[in-house]
Structure 1
Amino acid sequence: MAGGVPRPDPAVGAAGRARSGVGVIGAYALLAMSTQLLWLTFAAITPESARDLGVSQGAVGDLAVVNALMFVVLAIPAGRWLDRDYRATLAAGALFTALGAVVRALDPTSFAVVMAGQVIMSVGQPLVLTATTKIAARHVGPEHQTTAIGIASGAQFLGILVAVLTGAPLYDAGGLRAVLIANAAFSVVAAVAVLLSLRVPPLAEPPADTDRSMAWLRRDPVMWRMAALLFVGFGSYNALATWLDSLMTDFGHPGAAGNLIAVMTLAGVVGAAVLPGFVGERDARRTHCLVATAALAAVALVLIVAHGVVIGGVLLAGLGFLLLGTLPVVLEWAEVHVGPARAGRATAFLLLAGNVGAVVVVLTVQVAIDHPQLALGVLAAWSLPGLAFALLLPRSTPTSAPAAV
């Protein structure tokens, strides 16, 4: 069909459409993984990258910072574009992501070239990630949408894990060139898969929203409370990932943080995949948010007095399972709350709040980082506003979204 959205073929049975939906979600998960892989490419090889590119380690850090800055600028516009034209927006996100990865690999000795590629792929990231709930609403039946959202969200954390675990081995095998080429190859495959998946007819076409503005958001206190919750949750995870090495070194366990972060993130991948369906079926979303936020306080306080590697691994695995699982739970909740026509803008707003929290919470913990017990106390204190906002969320979720206002 030339132009427009492909229409479902009546000859294709429900089972065939369901299998197509699984393929669409799988392709999207690969692309979501690649956005995080490209964001944190240099996290595990910062000194080596600085040497090869002829810049300071701080400049290498700027390669990751540019992603956060672009997300803050583009998140809301990306959500609006997605609600207006899903296919064109996601296609643009796939193309920007792959193009940026390829540009970085053109000259692994030039910081300017690598930075240019990083900026290009940073444009694609919000265009891709704001589709997390929209793609589930289009291609998966209602009974499986929470699981699809969990898989798509968990893919982001899996991308973080892959970036951290593969950076050093790839560098050892072939230097920075090998790292950037491998990342580019993965991103191109993921982008092609998504572009092909856009030819799959949707299982259901979400209704159009005649109000393209964000005025409804100002009158929706539930969305603001969800955003505040993700501000705390995202921020706390990033604070732990950023400062755990300093904390464990001060506690007498240098070099242990990398494995602990990997354990926490891997547990988060599992949590993101299984928790949304579990809590959604039981309408226990608010309960989950309360438990996850309370777990943040409990883990931080226990680590103050018991900070061995084994107990740290157990605690952080449990926290990662609950805390990272909160992202898809809240995203799915928001989609149910606002309806699929506004899902792109809702997801963009929530992810924006989480990214801002990732900066603010990290900086507040940094103030006390020279005193590890105090730093953990600051982290525990962040759970208090988190619990307050979780308590203000609805006890149950209506089966249908509110009417547009």
Structure 2
Amino acid sequence: MSEKSQYQVSSYRWIILVLFMLVGMTTQILWITFAPITTESSAIFTAGDTDLILILSLVFMIAYLPVNFPASWCIDKFGLKWGTGVGVIITGVFGFLRIFSVDYTWLLIFQIGCAVGQPFILNSFTKLSANWFPEEEQALATGLGTMSLFVGLIIAMFLTPILYLSSTIPLQGINIVLIVYGIIALVTMILYLVFVKDKPESPPSPLASEEKTLMVQGMKDLFKNRDFIILFVAFLIGLGAFNAISAEIDLIFGIYRPMDVYSALTSGIMGGLMILGGIFGSVVLSALSDKYKNRKIFLILSLGVATALTPFIAYLPYLVPLYIICFVFGFFLMAALPIGLTYATEKTQPVPEGTSNGLLMLIGQIGGIILILTFSMVFIAILFGIGFILALFITEVQK
């Protein structure tokens, strides 16, 4: 049998990818639901205590820590559809149940349920690309998958206030938000369960047909791999810093600039442009990475640009150049996410994709928590510089 006939690409891969993008978007919508209406939600659920509303978002980051390894194990053990499907079902059910939240306690319980489902979905993108896509499309597929996370954030940021304001009665406005997002969660769950398949009849590449190691052995192998260790540190810095900067956008203005110079909308525009840049970068740079069959140069470029632009984000006093820099910052930095995940999959075979993907996403969450608690733009710029230097020493994947 020739190699060409042995490895066949199914056109159904794009349907699978779209369905995964929908559930990815849904997790982010459920996560960030209350961020644009924190004050309004606190007036209804917590007697004005906004910190309790912020916990509704924070539980997603906290839940990732204990759930990450069981989620990765499920994906590796039960395959793409049902390993990820556990999280899709949990997310769909608890996202829908939020509609029936009679008080803050029930809302928090249902939100924790949504948070538990998230790692099963986020840890699956490299498994999806390995199972369904040829090698020359795998970074693009992972890039489109991670792009859906940014799209979900933007949808929630813009749609939530519109839904809330569609009623003149605050409680009804909140209920409309929960109903719409609950229906989205339920529908995406049903679509996933009906149409997603674990893998095509014929593998699309040698990567898809390669026998995998067990998860425990795979984790041992990962930390014997010099390139993975460097990438692990880079994710701690890069993903952690992006999460911290996104969460502390207002603080950046409060510390480094006189607030009376800017409107309250400015920080929101900055954050939105970073995410928008990340959407474009995830697609464009991932496609270029596939085309030129090179991961290393794009990882170096992403961390190098982040190192150079972080001081400008912190101190630049001119709005238009600042907006451009925020877009470029997101474009390059967030493109490193899918490219890095793909690099890890290729570099650490036969370690299961869910294991390497899960560890990198986990360390990014931990990095976010650490950098939020110790927030300093100067410190983040230094860390980016360290990440850039480390990236110079990784070795390219041999095709």
CA shift, 1:376, in A, is 3.1
Instruction: Verify the 8 A CA contact 2:252 2:314 in the aligned structure 1.
Output: no
Give a deviation string over 1:324-364, Cα, whole Å, max 9, x none: 11100001111111236510100000100111111112222
Corresponding residue of 1:23: 15
Corresponding residue of 2:94: 100
Instruction: Verify the 8 A CA contact 2:23 2:88 in the aligned structure 1.
Output: yes
Which letter does structure 1 place at the counterpart of 2:355? Answer: R
Instruction: Verify the 8 A CA contact 2:60 2:115 in the aligned structure 1.
Output: yes
1:377 aligns with 2:378: yes
* In 1: Cα distance, 2:125 partner to 2:134 partner: 15
Give the number of equivalent residue pairs: 374
Instruction: Verify the 8 A CA contact 1:33 1:159 in the aligned structure 2.
Output: yes
Note closer, same or farther for the CA distance 1:210–1:380 as it changes in structure 2 (3 Å cut): closer
Corresponding residue of 2:389: 388
CA shift, 1:385, in A, is 2.1
Instruction: Verify the 8 A CA contact 2:237 2:367 in the aligned structure 1.
Output: yes
Corresponding residue of 2:398: 398
TM-score by length of 2: 0.88
* In 1: Cα distance, 2:251 partner to 2:43 partner: 23
Corresponding residue of 1:183: 181
SS of alignment partner, residue 248 of structure 2: helix
* In 1: Cα distance, 2:64 partner to 2:377 partner: 28
Corresponding residue of 2:284: 274
Q: Sequence identity of aligned pairs in percent?
A: 22
Corresponding residue of 1:402: none
* In 1: Cα distance, 2:387 partner to 2:231 partner: 10
Give a deviation string over 1:89-132, Cα, whole Å, max 9, x none: 1111110010111111112x411111111111111111111110
SS of alignment partner, residue 47 of structure 1: helix
Note closer, same or farther for the CA distance 1:199–1:299 as it changes in structure 2 (3 Å cut): closer
Note closer, same or farther for the CA distance 1:378–1:215 as it changes in structure 2 (3 Å cut): closer
* In 1: Cα distance, 2:245 partner to 2:227 partner: 27
* In 2: Cα distance, 1:261 partner to 1:148 partner: 25
Aligned pairs for 1:128-147 within 5 A? 128-147=121-140
TM-score by length of 1: 0.87
Q: Among residues 230, 236, 246, which one is paired with 1:231 in the alignment?
A: 236
Runs of 4+, deviation exceeding 6 Å? none
* In 2: Cα distance, 1:378 partner to 1:254 partner: 27
Corresponding residue of 1:253: 262
* In 2: Cα distance, 1:53 partner to 1:337 partner: 48
CA shift, 1:142, in A, is 2.6
Instruction: Verify the 8 A CA contact 2:278 2:335 in the aligned structure 1.
Output: yes
1:47 aligns with 2:45: no
SS of alignment partner, residue 284 of structure 1: coil
1:321 aligns with 2:322: no
Corresponding residue of 2:75: 82
1:348 aligns with 2:376: no
Which letter does structure 2 place at the counterpart of 1:101? Answer: G
* In 2: Cα distance, 1:341 partner to 1:110 partner: 45
Runs of 5+ consecutive residues of structure 2 not aligned to the other structure: 1-7, 168-172
SS of alignment partner, residue 263 of structure 2: coil
Corresponding residue of 1:330: 340
Note closer, same or farther for the CA distance 1:382–1:307 as it changes in structure 2 (3 Å cut): farther
Note closer, same or farther for the CA distance 1:287–1:302 as it changes in structure 2 (3 Å cut): same
Give a deviation string over 1:279-330, Cα, whole Å, max 9, x none: 2332432222222222222212234553222111100100100011110000
* In 1: Cα distance, 2:316 partner to 2:282 partner: 27
1:193 aligns with 2:186: no
CA shift, 1:201, in A, is 4.8
Give a deviation string over 1:120-151, Cα, whole Å, max 9, x none: 11111111111101111112233322211110
1:309 aligns with 2:310: no
